[in-house]
Amino acid sequence: MSVDTGIVLLLDISRRDARRYFGPEALMGREIQCRAKTAGKWIDGKALLETSEIIFRGDLRLKIPFGELKSVVARDGQLRLKSAATTVVLELGAQAEKWAHAILHPKSTVDKLGIKASATISALNLPGDPTMLDAEKLVAAFADKTPLQNSDMILFGATTASDLAAIKKFVPSLAAGGALWIVYPKGRKEIAEIQVLDAGRAAGLVDIKVVSYSATHTALKFVRPKDER
């Protein structure tokens, strides 16, 4: 694994509440009360396994980006994370090997979105998107100009809140059990999560999942209510 900088102190970070989408079981194995050892000192706290980093919160706060690690080893219930600058050891018990596997073999965005080879996919307003280029090679049917009828998945790129007005016209093209993913930039004042949620709900859909689409974008998943599928 390539290394650029060391593990850095975490001064302030916000974390999406996954329970809002998946229930309490979503965090099982990904949020653990444990001890961490760094600079020869053991600290009690909580470790969080995120999409691209581990966060530790205790008397000392740490953020450990996967891309900065050069060694990840799980042994005897401990997860040893080594960067160019330092080493952190987490006492995770039975979860140590699972966390190591998640770090070393992260899911692709295509996998996180649940795109299958048999799917009919419509990708709108996402020109040149690397994930959609991969999806196009994989799936049975793909369109990037107008939505295909009975699409298993429609992905729509929204850059500003005004883009969200287009969502309603996509819904009739969804298959009964299909999903609409809205892909939007992180941390931009031009479009906020609540605006995306409101737009999906105004289109008669319910939000059920959120994923980190890329380093710069988030994706929210919407489906029809159960009694309409």
What pLDDT, in 10s, does the model give residues 149-183? Answer: 999 999 999 999 999 999 999 999 999 999 999 99
Percent of the chain with pLDDT over 90: 78
Give the whole-angstrom CA distance, residue 59 versus residue 57.
7
What pLDDT, in 10s, does the model give residues 114-140? Answer: 999 999 999 999 999 999 999 999 999
- Determine the average pLDDT of the residues in 211-219: 91
What's the whole-number average pLDDT of the chain? 88
Give the whole-angstrom CA distance, residue 64 versus residue 57.
12
- Weakest mean pLDDT among 13-27, 41-55, 68-82, 153-167: 13-27
Domains of the chain in sequence order:
8-104 (2.30.29.30), 109-228 (3.40.50.150)
Distance of CA 65 to the CA centre of its chain: 14
pLDDT at position 5, please?
33
- Angstrom CA distances, 171 to 76, 151, 153, 155, 188, stand at 51, 10, 10, 11, 26
pLDDT at position 122, please?
98
What pLDDT, in 10s, does the model give residues 31-63? Answer: 999 999 999 999 999 999 987 889 999 999 999
Give the whole-angstrom CA distance, residue 69 versus residue 51.
14
